[in-house]
């Protein structure tokens, strides 16, 4: 039959298209449903457009200190044209959409551009057609959450989706939430000489991060003239006036609500929930054994690369009955901007009741950092029983460096074995080597205590 498939996938974001490609590679017939644009939130409303804008603003910041590197740009100071930045962002997204569509089509995946709903546990209805599938993967992702009493309107109170549709930015911006989204947009606004205030209800910025990372981010915010309140919530919004629990009153031009995301769940079946997310077992099966939920929709870790890993593992489970191996403590996360922030494994506060070692190596001890004039940051490493259990990095290239630690944690490498690896000089990777040496007080680039 024309509309019978081994696997149906709802949602063509990173999890969905990765699952589709993997499944075809494993010999399955696949139908992929997407009601909007292929690539999901990551490509269209998240990772790629935001990082494109961030790269532009980071480049702008670098240009402004070109004289320090002996480069004369002339008498006129460089200026940022946000409309051009906005257009570049759109061009890149469109190019990647086309490229990704061709990639998926090259695997003979049937793509259905329509909203999908369940008829039963084996049937999906989309575009006036019913599709029968032996197994189904839900990969519909998540959308910005609405805070109680603070409803986004797309004009004064915006979510991250709304913000990406603005081709010019106002001067005064309030950001609610200091997670990855809030922190990255604060850096963008600051780089473009906007007045930025971040309000965080928790007692620290990036509340899920290691305490040393949170403290250093506070310093970075201050250096970049980003104002922030912690342990603070909004009491009331009247007109354009925002009243805070700490007594402060602000009148921003816009408010960015960057305080979490909620799952997008297809209609037609009742799934057991874990809070608002779909509850899954260790193999990501829902309460229907042939229906799996991967990525943001299960709430385990709202990151694109986590979703991809889950999707690939689930396909391998469907085809080979190979149990899924997923440990969110082994998955790195990154906050982009200057300098980058990355982390993997446990934080120090998670290890307070454990016999652990900690080492913090400052980037400013590296010759490479002086050559680049990038002296702010550190590499912090935690170990238990001579094995790395956590790493937290603030420095250029942190998004790449963190994978060295991820490999160490995933393979349970002993620190003595790691130190047999030769790290190139001059490089930021030397900080990885030095931080591990520092676990036993043996760093070669820090003065004797």
What angle do helix axes 14-25 and 82-105 make, rounded to 10 degrees?
A: 20
| Conformation bin of residue 192: beta by default, left when phi > 0, alpha when psi is -120 to 50 | alpha
Could you give the CA distance from residue 419 to residue 416 in angstroms, rounded to a whole number? 5
Q: Tell me whether residue 425 is one of the annotated catalytic residues.
A: yes
Helix (H, G, I), strand (E, B) or coil at 442: coil
- Given the residues 55, 309, 403, 425, select the one marked as catalytic: 425
Q: What are the residue ranges of helices labelled H in 152-191?
A: 160-163, 180-191
Q: 381-404: b or e for each residue (b if 16 or more CB lie within 10 Å)? A: bbbeeeebbbbbbbbbbbbebbeb
Please, are residues 100 and 40 in contact by the beta-carbon 8 Å criterion? no
Helix (H, G, I), strand (E, B) or coil at 67: helix
Q: For residue 194, what are its two tokens? A: 């906007």
Please, are residues 281 and 288 in contact by the beta-carbon 8 Å criterion? no
Please, are residues 9 and 16 in contact by the beta-carbon 8 Å criterion? yes
CB neighbourhood size of 228 (10 A): 19
> Which sequence positions are flagged as catalytic?
425
């Amino acid at each position: 039959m024309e509309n019978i498939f081994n696997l149906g996938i709802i949602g063509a974001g990173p999890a969905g298209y990765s699952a589709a490609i993997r499944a075809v590679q494993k010999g399955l017939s696949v139908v992929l449903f997407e009601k909007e644009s292929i690539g999901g939130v990551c490509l269209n409303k998240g990772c790629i457009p935001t990082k494109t804008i961030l790269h532009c603003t980071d480049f702008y910041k670098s240009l402004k200190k070109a004289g320090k590197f002996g480069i004369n740009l002339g008498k006129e100071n460089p200026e940022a044209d946000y409309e051009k930045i906005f257009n570049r962002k759109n061009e890149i997204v469109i190019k990647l959409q086309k490229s990704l569509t061709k990639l998926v089509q090259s695997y003979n995946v049937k793509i259905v551009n329509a909203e999908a709903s369940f008829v039963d546990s084996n049937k999906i209805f989309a575009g006036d057609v019913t599709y029968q599938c032996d197994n189904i993967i839900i990969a519909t992702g998540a959308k910005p959450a609405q805070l109680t009493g603070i409803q986004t309107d797309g004009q004064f109170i915006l979510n991250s989706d709304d913000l990406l549709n603005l081709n010019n930015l106002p001067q005064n911006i309030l950001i609610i939430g200091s997670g990855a989204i809030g922190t990255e947009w604060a850096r963008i606004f600051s780089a473009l000489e906007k007045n930025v205030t971040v309000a965080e209800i928790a007692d620290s910025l990036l509340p899920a991060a290691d305490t040393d990372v949170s403290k250093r981010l506070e310093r970075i915010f201050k250096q970049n003239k980003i104002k922030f309140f912690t342990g603070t919530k909004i009491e009331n919004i009247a007109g354009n006036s925002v009243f805070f629990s700490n007594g402060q009153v602000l009148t921003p031009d816009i408010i960015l609500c960057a305080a979490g995301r909620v799952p997008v769940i297809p209609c037609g079946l009742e799934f057991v929930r874990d809070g608002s997310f779909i509850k899954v077992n260790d193999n990501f099966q829902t309460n229907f054994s042939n229906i799996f939920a991967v990525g943001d929709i299960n709430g385990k870790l709202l990151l694109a690369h986590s979703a991809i890993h889950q999707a690939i593992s689930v396909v391998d489970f469907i085809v080979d009955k190979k149990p899924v191996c997923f440990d969110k403590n082994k998955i790195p996360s990154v906050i982009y901007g200057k300098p980058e922030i990355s982390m993997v494994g446990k934080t120090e506060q998670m290890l307070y009741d454990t016999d652990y070692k900690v080492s913090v190596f400052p980037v400013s001890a590296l010759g490479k950092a002086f050559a680049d004039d990038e002296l702010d940051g550190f590499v912090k490493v935690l170990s238990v029983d001579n094995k790395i259990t956590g790493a937290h990095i603030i420095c250029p290239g942190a998004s790449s460096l963190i994978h060295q630690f991820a490999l160490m944690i995933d393979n349970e490498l002993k620190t003595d074995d790691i130190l047999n690896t030769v790290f190139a000089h001059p490089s930021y990777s030397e900080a990885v080597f030095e931080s591990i040496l520092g676990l036993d007080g043996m760093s070669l680039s820090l003065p004797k205590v």
